[in-house]
Structure 1
């Protein structure tokens, strides 16, 4: 199975850095790309400037989506992805700080494939990434894999 790119949409640079480091610590081989808000996520997925170069910005095999972002939040992105025939096949994993039941339920109702509450402790994040990697990047067949 070839490693597929993972695209993370998260506006917090520290969360991006910690996730990148957790993926490295967990020895995840999937390349990780980042966008900072929902508008950038949709531009990336739709191959709009500046994301037109597929070698530099490959189509992701799955998306890690924060719910609370500026310009266009994760809920709006999820709705856009699910109604777009060219994108709706992409697995979307909501990865956010909230673990409120209504957020979890709403995310699944909107078509999220999984919901992960971000831990605040780095070691717990590494453990979470290892479990995520074992399932999503080793067991599951992803688009482009």
Structure 2
């Protein structure tokens, strides 16, 4: 059995590269699928557009969702994930640099499983990603 992918929704190339390095350094071996805007993330989840051949029964283990995204912002993506029977139980971790209290409150109101502010320091970021990986990929049990 292959491990479930992690869906990283991140539009900033530097943050994407940092996250990928952190996954590698944390020995997280799950495949990483990167989408760079909210519309592409939804296309991936619902097997539309360039992802039309993807099996929708193969959901990611976790979605790491940035908030400030082009096309469709992260909070809208989260709302659509929670409104769809296929993905309503999918673990979604908001991984953002936003320090706005309203983003935190709205994220949880829309059903985020966790809200993590991206640490600026690389070593702290690696540690945070390692903890996220340990919990969401090894300890957490999914209903699907």
TM over 0.5: yes
Structure 1 residues 6-21: aligned runs within 5 Å: 6-21=6-21
**C-alpha deviations, 1:83-102, integer Å up to 9, x for none?**
11111121110000013332
Unpaired segments ≥5 residues, structure 1:
none
Tell me the secondary structure at the aligned position of residue 50 of structure 1: helix
Instruction: Give 1:25-104 correspondences, 5 Å limit.
Output: 25-54=25-54, 59-104=59-104
Change (3 A) 1:38 1:77: same
Aligned positions, number: 142
- What RMSD, in angstroms, separates the aligned Cα atoms of the two structures? 1.7
Task: After the TM superposition, list the runs of 4 or more consecutive aligned residues in structure 1 that deviate by more than 4 angstroms.
Answer: none
Shift of 1:2: 6.0
Q: Which runs of 5+ in 2 are unaligned?
A: none
Shift of residue 3, structure 1, vs aligned partner: 2.9
Using structure 2 for the length normalisation, give the TM-score. Answer: 0.91
Q: Is the 8 A contact 1:10 1:35 kept in 2?
A: yes
Contact kept? 1:68, 1:74, Cα under 8 Å: yes
> CA offsets, 1:4-29, max 9 Å, x none?
21101111111111100000001112
After TM superposition, the structure 1 stretch with the greater mean CA deviation from structure 2, 126-135 or 46-55, is 46-55
